Amino acid sequence: MNTIFYITATVAIVSSLIAITNRNAIHALLYLILSLLSISVIFYIIGAPFIAALEVIVYAGAIMVLFIFVVMMLNISLEEEQENKWLTPRMWIVPSILAALLLIIFIYVLKEFKYEQTTAEIIGPKQVGITMFTKYLLAVEISAILLLAGIIGGYHLGKQKKKVIHRFLEKTKKI
Amino acid sequence: MVTISMDIQILFAGALFLTGLVGLLVRRNIIFMLMSIEIMLNSAALVFVIAGSHWMQADGQVMFIFILTVSAAEVSVGLALILQMYHHYRTLDADAINRLRD
């Protein structure tokens, strides 16, 4: 288990470093997703399976998809002949090695470790839910308000404003 | 299960946080700056979960869920701002918007 932690931590740090030094935004986002997946493995092996699932579903599944949508909407064309660059081996050999490491660890964990060995230290979703909805109920409501503000802010800031110059405003501008 | 001491786990989270901080300070592309902020938030949440599993409490995981909420709201508003910035200035350089009005 300790070896798994070290390997996964190395994968996380290396892929984060590549993500922040990459020039292509889509490649950087894919490396960032790889980093989030490896952090989810770490969550799983330190005894938080619910948080590991949330990390994959919400972070890697929802937030990163938002990023990718925006990058594709902006249509940032860095270089031409990108298609030719994707086919060269050095573009895909590093992410393939890192992702294959995670896959090997995943298969190893599923084969070798029985779930009964680890039930003593796992904090499951039931305990998390009970704590969240009794002790931190006020914080849950505040975060609901925060999400509402995020929805309204995203809608208001993201919509395209048509530039309508009113006649009255034009007249006042001339004066 | 995992028998690594808490120091090394927090050291890992700190290394991840430093990675995000360096990315935030070095890059000028504003999408990369937002991604670095994501890395930093994620490593802070990792510290919460590590501490929660060390003391066998569920509070750390509850804090992770709150950080996830804050991160989702921040990303939606930040990406909408990036869209507006790109439509106004046709660039993603953070140094291009250093004036309040043009």
- As to burial, measured by CB atoms within 10 angstroms (0-12 exposed, 13-18 middle, 19+ buried), residue A76 is middle
Going by the DSSP 8-state scheme, the letter that residue A117 receives in this structure is G
Structure tokens at A100: 């294959």
Question: Got the DSSP string for B34-74?
Answer: HHHHHHHHHHHHHHHHHHHHHTT-SHHHHHHHHHHHHHHHH
Angle between helices A25-45 and B30-54 (to 10 degrees): 0
Residue A174 dihedral angles phi and psi, to the nearest 5°? -65, -40
Q: What is the pTM of this model?
A: 0.81
The closest of A35, A27, A30, A49 to A115, measured between CA atoms, is A49
Report whether A95 contacts A30 (CB < 8 A): yes
The count of other CB atoms within 10 Å of the CB of residue A104 is 12
Cβ neighbours of B71 in A, within 8 Å: 59, 63
Structure tokens at B22: 């360096």
Check CB contact of B29 with chain A, cutoff 8 Å.
yes
Q: How far apart, in Å, are the Cα atoms of B36 and each of A41, A52, A134, B17?
A: 20, 21, 34, 9
A62-78 pLDDT, tens per residue?
999 999 888 888 876 55
B73-93 pLDDT, tens per residue?
999 999 999 988 888 888 788
**B4: alpha, beta or left? (left if phi > 0; alpha if psi -120 to 50):** beta
Indicate if the pLDDT at residue B65 is higher than 90.
yes
Residue A175 is predicted with a pLDDT of: 47
pLDDT tens track of chain A, all 175 residues? 788 889 999 999 999 999 988 888 888 999 999 999 999 999 988 888 899 999 999 999 999 999 988 888 887 655 445 555 555 677 677 877 887 888 888 788 777 766 554 445 788 889 999 999 999 999 999 999 999 999 999 999 888 766 666 666 655 554 4
Report whether B77 contacts A154 (CB < 8 A): yes
Instruction: Name the A residues in 92-111 with CB < 8 Å from any B CB.
Output: none
Indicate if the pLDDT at residue B100 is higher than 70.
no
Cβ neighbours of A1 in B, within 8 Å: 1-3
Structure tokens at B69: 């909420």
Cβ neighbours of B1 in A, within 8 Å: 1, 45-47, 113, 117-118, 121
Residue A80 is predicted with a pLDDT of: 46
